[in-house]
A and B are shown apart, each in its own frame.
Chain A
Amino acid sequence: MTLAHYLTLSGLLFLIGIFGALTRRNIIGILMSIELVFNAANINLAAFNHFRHPGGVAGQAVALFFITIAAAEVVVGLALVLAIYRNTDTVYVEEFSLLKG
């Protein structure tokens, strides 16, 4: 296995996540797609750490920070989704038009 294999895998995962974030109507679906994008970035960090810097762990440390940030992001995101759902009674993003007046 070479670094190119892992980069191809993470690139495909990234593209699937971007496609989902652009096309899903459900806001929870968009959040799930963003999690896939985060994971693609983490695979890249771990792969570069393994292949370019075998003795070190700096890439893994940064990936660990990313996992923490993603956890914080999803907690705040889901709290916001719940608050929006309470106000608009829908989970579909085209219907979130409170600011239109």
Chain B
Amino acid sequence: MGAGENMERVDGQLSARPISLSHRIRMWQQRYSSTVLLLAPLLLYMSLVFAIPIMFQVAFGFYSRELYKGVLWRPVPDFTLDNFVRVFSGDEVYLSSLLWTVGVAFFTSAVSITLSLPVAYFLARYNPIGRSLIELSFLLPVFGEIFTLFALAYAFAPQGPINWVLMGLGLVQEPIRFIGSPLVVIIWMSIPTLSVLLIRSALVGVDVLYEEAAQTMGANTLQTFAQVTFPLAKRGIMGALLLSVSSGVGVYTLPLVLVGPYNSWLANKITREVNPFFNYPMASALGVILTAVSAVFLYLYLRSQEAGD
């Protein structure tokens, strides 16, 4: 089948006959059928395991529930905004839990970005002692979440090393009970990990010439960084902050293990709606809200990345 078949001579001139629909479908098949076949596993998996459950989650968020045979709560397709009203009315724990989750994510991200700025700059510009060790170590927490969690629990134990150091320095009189209080989660979320690598790549993109020019004109180190380097790398740093907040609002395992099953993070509230309470519509509504919050930060991130291009 060539393109020539669609041409015919009319009065000695070539004119294109409109390509028929069936022909167009066949051409499309020839070009893309293998691509579609290769993508089939992913599309099938993502739609069955991701898209359909998420669509049902959005739908269930507007359901109400009824007691079935006196033993089982089941969702009924009775359209209601009740779940969302309950969340945002502020009479119950949900709103304060949402604010707490977002607030902690924001605070810890800001602290962690601030802490990672010097080390990211240092790694971007200089060749420190133990460079490969330092760079590799920031990838470590990605593999083995459980491992890190247990190590944290032992380190922050009442008679563990952290309390030993604090008491040795005379900062506290008796051991702080870290385990079971949200303090340890906030501390660990504030410690820079992957954000160091993100910010480093943003800082590498800033030309050294600008810094040197500023220095030549008499700026000191801090001035150069604050007034030249930072504004130039602002986009990358904001990006790291927003990504960090976006992942911080979804934190679940860390508070569950270190604070306990009654912690006030929203992800935990969602699972508790399912497990002891069997309130599927409420869990779905909270899930939609959490996803939306995280998506807002992600959208801001994508927009901040596009703005400069």
* B and A form one assembly: no
Interface positions of A (Cβ within 8 A of B):
none
